[in-house]
Structure 1
Amino acid sequence: MPGTRSTGLLALGGIAVAALLTVIGHLEVNDDLNPWALTISDFAVSDRGGVIDAAMVVLALTTVALLHGLRRTDPPRSGRAIELLLGAWVAGLLLAALVPTNEPGATMTTSAYVHRYASVVAFLALPVGGWLLARHPDLTPAARTLRTLVVLSLVLAGGMVWSAYPGDRLLIGLAERLLILTEVAVLATVALTLTRRSPDEDGALTPARGA
């Protein structure tokens, strides 16, 4: 069973792969699509089953790896809630990857609504989970960073909600990309903190689990 340092490195690699796939997906789609006015889902539906969908799956699996690593540390009292919230983030990502939204400008379909609300669940679950992660004893060095990222992500989520409704989708693509960047930074912060654990700390956990 891999130690938490190895899990952290694996997660950082997964985040890097997901970011690379997302960039490639943006470069491959129709040049007429405006990234500031259209969401990543709008880009993904133009290349259904392509690299952007793959990036979402990779990011979900990366989160599963982080959950595995955190289980090998000393869990806080909120450990169960953290697992449920990160699990909701994973489920939301996978569902959004599997169920496409509608083409830009088209009438919302049932699958589009499923995609939308799966994304909403994911976007809300990760910040709440990130706030609880800041209380994790093994993530204490990153607590302030995690809380800052969570607050920023909630502000950006509010901006995206404003854009989607009263704002007539003004710069909704920019708001969403900044939101995703901030939330992925939460995962990257957790992964980076796990990589800084010493081998002795990881090794000390194994006997306790087998006792």
Structure 2
Amino acid sequence: MTWRTVLAPVAGAVTAVAALGYAQAALPAQPLISDYALVPGGMLPVLVGTLALAAACLSLAYGLAAREPGRTAATRVLLLAGTAGLMLSAIFPTDPGMSDISTLTGEIHRWSAAVVFTALPVAGWSLARGRAAAVRWSAVKALSVTSGLTLGAYLAAHPAAFTSSLIGGGAYYGLLERGVVLAEIVLVLAMALACAPGRAAVRAEGARATGAPAQPESRQRLAA
């Protein structure tokens, strides 16, 4: 990936965090992030944040297609699924209330959000799986696992789940949802930074300096 294709998902992720932070700080407290779109002044930051993250996923998929078209096919499909889910959840707002979904738009929002929450952690794991040991890929794996575990806890704590009353989930399910969203935004950011350009060239130069044979470019890309 070139720096241009890396900076696009980074900018989208940063914008999404800023929009979420603005809604959290400036608007009346809401149980879930999507509920901010239902209060005065809340639609714009929710739309900006959601579409910025969608743009980040889309630009990351584009960059991966140019960098490793064969190896990252599954990752790109999952990123595009996340992009579609984010766009649908932005277009179709949620219904008011904690668990009672009674309209078609509310159902579309619910299931598109479910696609996003599940697709991005799997995309991160798919991208990092089988890579050479490096801090950046370990970070992507760790964030993927963190996102998945936090999502599981959120689903168990949501008032619509039968497990919610058993674990007192009504008191903190909104915090868990924010944790899932933040973890997945950071995951997209980490995926983009892990694919930053120049690493293969650095390894090749190091190999020449030590007299070790440099790997072919295709193997350097796979190790990266």
TM-score by length of 1: 0.81
Q: Indicate conservation of the 8 Å contact 2:2/2:197, yes or no.
A: no
Unaligned stretches of 5+ in structure 2?
203-216, 219-224
Unaligned stretches of 5+ in structure 1?
206-211
User: Which residue pairs with 2:164 in the alignment?
Assistant: 167
Question: Could you tell me how far apart the structure 1 residues matched to 2:181 and 2:13 are?
Answer: 12
Evaluate the alpha carbon distance shift between residue 74 and residue 140 of structure 1 in structure 2; reply closer, same or farther with a 3 A threshold: farther
1:114 to 76, 88, 108: 108
Q: Indicate conservation of the 8 Å contact 2:10/2:192, yes or no.
A: yes
Secondary structure (helix, strand or coil) at the match of 1:72 reads helix
User: Superposition RMSD on alpha carbons, in Å?
Assistant: 2.6
User: Which residue pairs with 2:179 in the alignment?
Assistant: 178
How many residue pairs match? The answer is 195
Mapping for residues 30-45 of structure 1, pairs under 5 Å: 30=28, 33-34=29-30, 38-45=31-38
Question: Could you tell me how far apart the structure 1 residues matched to 2:100 and 2:122 are?
Answer: 32
Between 1 and 2, higher relative CO (CA 8 Å, sep ≥ 6) is seen in 1
Mapping for residues 187-206 of structure 1, pairs under 5 Å: 187-197=188-198
Question: Could you tell me how far apart the structure 2 residues matched to 1:80 and 1:133 are?
Answer: 9
Deviations 1:73-95 (A, max 9, x none): 13454x22111111111111110
Stretches (4+) displaced over 4 A: 136-141, 198-201
Question: Could you tell me how far apart the structure 1 residues matched to 2:197 and 2:146 are?
Answer: 25
Question: Could you tell me how far apart the structure 2 residues matched to 1:70 and 1:180 are?
Answer: 23
Q: Is 1:98 aligned to 2:91, yes or no?
A: yes
Larger CA Rg, structure 1 vs 2 = 2
Q: CA deviation at 1:170?
A: 3.2
Q: CA deviation at 1:104?
A: 2.8
Q: Indicate conservation of the 8 Å contact 2:140/2:190, yes or no.
A: yes
